[in-house]
Amino acid sequence: MDDLDRVGHFKREKINIQIMGFLSNFFSNARKPEGFLGKIMVNGMNGGGHAAMANWALAMVTIGRDDRILDIGCGGGANIARLLQRTQQGTLTGIDFSPVSVRKSTKVNAKAIQEGRCRVLEGNVADLPFAEGSFDVVTAFETIYFWPDIEHCFNEVKRVLKPGGQFVIVNESDGSGEMDAKWESMIEGMHTYTPEEIRQHLTNVGFNDLNITVNEEKRWLCATAKR
């Protein structure tokens, strides 16, 4: 390799490193959207495959007309809007530890907030700011990947559910894909759970009536359990 080739090689390597750094920074916003890239991320959460996956999962979930629902990790707020359509006379609380997500969810659901049917709060799943038995349904779309101490967080969900209340988990991956390990290496603190892992953790904290469905084509996962 002559000097000119070496220069070209080093330039390409530098560009590759910069691209990988940008991608890592961007996709890390899936965990906690921040700044300009975070705004792009939450906008993406509200459309595309996420919408199709959410609709697929909600078609399998029974929600009452006047249910009190908590959506943890509410992201861009699109699932809050979907759930509000399902409850009709119920109320919806969204919570996220990203201020960017809270602002976006608040904007998307401004009408429901004004009507008193919705509120969006900044908070952490590891220490939910709600009394025991506050909700009929708790949902978690595309978020348990990032929950620290998963069984502690599941216990928090169980605490704020009323007896017989339903916990709904929706993930874009069932943990069996080749890309899962790559995503985990790229996004700090991420773990893609298999159906068996989810079932075991839910059972360990005392949830019952577990049902886990996987879309074999897309590898989407929907898990339901009751307190």
pLDDT digit string (tens) for 82-124?
Answer: 999 999 899 999 999 999 999 999 999 999 999 999 999 999 9
Give the model's pLDDT for residue 35.
57
- Whether residue 117 lies inside any domain: the answer is yes
The range of the structural domain enclosing residue 70 comes to 31-226
Structure tokens at 206: 């005392």
- Whether residue 25 lies inside any domain: the answer is no
Instruction: Enter the pTM of the model.
Output: 0.82
Structure tokens at 27: 């996709």
- Whether residue 18 lies inside any domain: the answer is no
Domain holding 172: CATH number? 3.40.50.150
Q: Is the pLDDT of residue 2 over 90?
A: no
Question: What's the rounded Cα separation, in Å, for the pair 21 and 143?
Answer: 23
Q: How many domains does the chain have?
A: 1
- Whether residue 17 lies inside any domain: the answer is no
Neighbour tally for 170: CB within 10 Å: 24
